[in-house]
């Protein structure tokens, strides 16, 4: 079963202990959990851009950084690359 299907099954199951679920996921997929945790902690443009980077959408991350911060192309590119 892929992770997407597993998540759908869990969500459709009704009542759930979210804390236990998060701990279990962190144990099974530590690298993904750390990346997600970092994105959530950053918030704002940094969180959004980090999520885009993790999805291999660097150009979209730079564009979003420019939209949210008003930075120029060079500054936005440098800021996004600093997140990686």
Question: Model-level pTM?
Answer: 0.56
Quote the CA–CA distance of 14 and 45 in Å, as a whole number.
33
Domain ranges, ordered by start, for the chain: 43-84
pLDDT at 75: 95
Tens of pLDDT along the chain (84 residues)?
Answer: 566 677 667 666 666 777 787 788 888 888 877 777 666 666 788 888 988 898 899 999 999 999 988 999 999 999 999 988
Of the candidates 71, 33, 27, 30, which has an alpha carbon nearest to the alpha carbon of residue 49? Answer: 71
């Amino acid at each position: 079963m892929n992770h997407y299907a597993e998540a759908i099954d869990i969500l459709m199951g009704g009542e759930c202990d979210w804390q236990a679920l998060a701990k279990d996921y962190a144990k099974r997929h530590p690298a993904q959990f750390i990346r997600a945790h970092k994105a959530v902690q950053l918030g704002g443009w940094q969180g959004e851009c980090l999520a885009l980077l993790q999805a291999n959408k660097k150009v979209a991350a730079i564009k979003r950084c420019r939209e949210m911060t008003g930075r120029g192309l060079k500054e936005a590119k440098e800021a996004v690359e600093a997140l990686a």
